[in-house]
Amino acid sequence: MNRRSIEFVVGLFVIAGLVAFLYLAMRIGGLEWPDHNHYHLTARFSSASGLKQGAFVELAGVRVGKVSAIDLDPDSYEAVVTIELPKRIRLQEDTIASIRTAGIIGDRYIKLTPGGADDYLADGDEITDTESAINIEELVSKYIFESGGKQTAKR
């Protein structure tokens, strides 16, 4: 090999290393390439407790998307959840979005229940029918304190 071909090969390795470094930095930083095969919808919940960015979105028991952002609306004090879905999934305007728990104490996810409307949601639209997560701790403490109060009242 002559000097020119060695310099060319070294240059290719440097460029490949920079591309690999850029890709790794984007993955670690949570940045993604623009994706034109997906669209985003928002949904407002009174509580998004336990729901995390990156949680899956389920439709008919199949994982079809993910939670891309969770923000707080400072005016209404509601959680605004942005979900990302593939364009092949078309949802009616009266779709219901519910925050559910996988298993008894599993991760939270969004369950979508399609409606029967004739019109469909488009990129950037909002799902208006939502159900917040059930807080197990509140239910248990409510049951314990209500039963304790009833027992003392009977004495």
Query: How many domains are there within the chain?
Result: 2
Kindly state whether residues 105 and 131 are assigned to the same domain.
yes
Q: What are phi and psi of 78, to 5 degrees?
A: -115, 150
Residues 65 and 82 in one domain: yes
97 and 133: one domain?
yes
Of how many residues is the chain composed?
A: 155
15 in the same domain as 48 = no
- In this structure, the dihedral spanned by the alpha carbons of residues 107, 134, 54 and 83, taken in order and rounded to 10 degrees, is 150
H or E stretch at 30:
none
- The rounded distance, in Å, linking the Cα atoms of 108 and 90 is 23
Q: Is pTM, for the whole model, over 0.85?
A: no
Strand arrangement of the beta sheet that strand 108-113 belongs to: 126-127, 38-45, 78-86, 62-73, 56-59, 108-113, 96-101, 129-131
pLDDT of residue 30: 66
Note whether residue 129 is domain-resident: yes
Same domain, 66 and 90: yes
Band of pLDDT at residue 152, cut at 50, 70 and 90 = very low
Please indicate, yes or no, if residue 151 is contained in any of the structural domains. Answer: no
For residue 66, tell me if it sits in a domain: yes
What the block records as the tokens of 113 is: 């229940």
Find the domain containing 8 and state its range. 1-33
The pLDDT tens digits for 87-127 are: 898 999 999 999 988 877 778 899 999 988 889 998 989 99
Amino acid at 121: L
